[in-house]
Amino acid sequence: MPKKHGAKATSAAAIGNAVRVKPGFVLSDVDPRSTPGYAGSKKDSVGAMDASRAEIDDLQERLYAGGRDGDGPSVLLVLQGMDTAGKGGILRHVVGAVDPQGVSIHAFKVPTKEEREHPFLWRIRKQLPPPGNIGVFDRSHYEDVLVVRVHDLVPPKVWRRRYAEINSFEESCNDKGIHLVKVMLHISPQEQRARLAERLDRPDKYWKFNPGDIDEREHWGDYQEAYQAVLDKTSTDENPWHVVPADHKWYARLAVHQLLLDKLRELHAPWPPADFDVAEQQERLAAT
Ligand code: AMP
Ligand code: MG
């Protein structure tokens, strides 16, 4: 393989398997500063992403072309993580690098009054990516077993049955050709403190600061427990979770880039065949 930008030929190919949640997975055993499946440096990671950009473009265009007739697969990237885990950076640096045509991003906030009057998956279903698209959920249906569980927003017997509801919902997504890539960005409380401090230090970051984030820090342990339950109950063979250590932003970006690339490679959509007679059209064109 030719070397690019002087970067070592450091492969990111092993990341997907290294971050995939397997039976017996223990969240607290994952060091948020680690870089599983990757031996390169921050500088190498930039080279690695540059090196596969053309391939991602090609694969995304194939996906998009395949969806033009109203069926064909789509991809749904589900991003979860504590406040400041870096979801915004993933949107800008990873998702932002692919052709915006064919990408739809939706951020799920505190449910509106109307949304609360419906089952929790109602607002989620409305945002599923159409064929050929890459959808991104910045938070998701998982909030309904995370923040909701931590803050007792519904009775335990309600949130307890949601894990099974989520699994069957995701299977029904698969049946419609929607391929999920589920990612938890895993940061340490120390790193979160540093990121919040930065938001308070810099006027250009005030807009990102939410005093409520400090209240949520008080519940760190409860959130980790709620995440562990999510990983135990909703990481399936078809729709596995990936826990991406995120104290190093560069690693988290490389890992999500790689997970997206792996999924697009797996789908490797063929170019749709012409629905016209090519030779005939060439002749017509030549005659003009
Ligand atoms: P942010 O992503 O920082 O803009 O914040 C969005 C907020 O909406 C977070 O505090 C989430 O916990 C909250 N949120 C998202 N979904 C739900 C939900 N289903 N129930 C309650 N709060 C939610
Ligand atoms: Mg926030």
DSSP assignment of 49-115: HHHHHHHHHHHHHHHHHHHTTS-S-EEEEEEEESTTSSHHHHHHHTGGGS-STTEEEEE--SPPHHH
Measured by CA distance, the residue closest to atom 3 of ligand 1 is 83
> What's the Rg (C-alpha) of the chain?
21
pLDDT band at 9 (very low <50, low <70, confident <90, very high): low
In percent, the amount of the chain with pLDDT more than 90 equals 91
What is the CB-side half-sphere exposure of residue 50 using CA atoms within 13 A? Answer: 14
Whole-angstrom distance, CA of residue 62 vs CA of residue 78: 21
What was the pLDDT predicted at 69?
A: 87
Instruction: Say yes or no: CB of residue 223 within 6 Å of ligand 1.
Output: no
| 220 CA → ligand 2 middle, Å | 14
What was the pLDDT predicted at 111?
A: 98
Q: Compare 135 and 97 and report the one with higher pLDDT.
A: 135
Q: Please name each of the domains of the chain with its CATH number.
A: 18-268 (3.40.50.300)
In three-state secondary structure terms, 259 is: helix
Ligand 1 atom with minimal separation from the 147 CA: 12
pTM: 0.95
Instruction: Say yes or no: CB of residue 83 within 6 Å of ligand 1.
Output: yes
Measured by CA distance, the residue closest to atom 9 of ligand 1 is 109
What are 244's strand-pairing partners? 185
What was the pLDDT predicted at 70?
A: 87
| 213 CA → ligand 2 middle, Å | 6
Q: Compare 3 and 201 and report the one with higher pLDDT.
A: 201
* Residue from 139, 185, 213 to probe ligand 1 pocket by mutation (most atoms less than 8 Å from CB): 139
Q: Compare 163 and 10 and report the one with higher pLDDT.
A: 163
Q: Are 105 and 136 in contact (CB under 8 A)?
A: yes
* Residue from 115, 143, 148 to probe ligand 1 pocket by mutation (most atoms less than 8 Å from CB): 143
Phi, psi (rounded to 5 degrees) for 179: -100, 115
Instruction: Give per-residue pLDDT as tens, 26-73.
Output: 999 999 999 999 999 999 999 999 999 999 999 999 999 999 888 899
Instruction: Say yes or no: CB of residue 144 within 6 Å of ligand 1.
Output: yes
Phi, psi (rounded to 5 degrees) for 194: -65, -40
What was the pLDDT predicted at 7?
A: 44
Average pLDDT over residues 231-253: 98
In the predicted structure, residue 6 carries a pLDDT above the cut 50 = no
Instruction: Say yes or no: CB of residue 207 within 6 Å of ligand 1.
Output: no
Ligand 1 atom with minimal separation from the 87 CA: 2
pLDDT band at 8 (very low <50, low <70, confident <90, very high): very low
Measured by CA distance, the residue closest to atom 15 of ligand 1 is 109
pLDDT band at 270 (very low <50, low <70, confident <90, very high): confident
CA 133 to chain centre: 14
Instruction: Say yes or no: CB of residue 109 within 6 Å of ligand 1.
Output: yes
In the predicted structure, residue 1 carries a pLDDT above the cut 90 = no
In the predicted structure, residue 101 carries a pLDDT above the cut 70 = yes
Instruction: Say yes or no: CB of residue 108 within 6 Å of ligand 1.
Output: yes
Average pLDDT over residues 103-111: 96
Task: State the DSSP code for 247.
Answer: S
For the chain, the average pLDDT equals 95
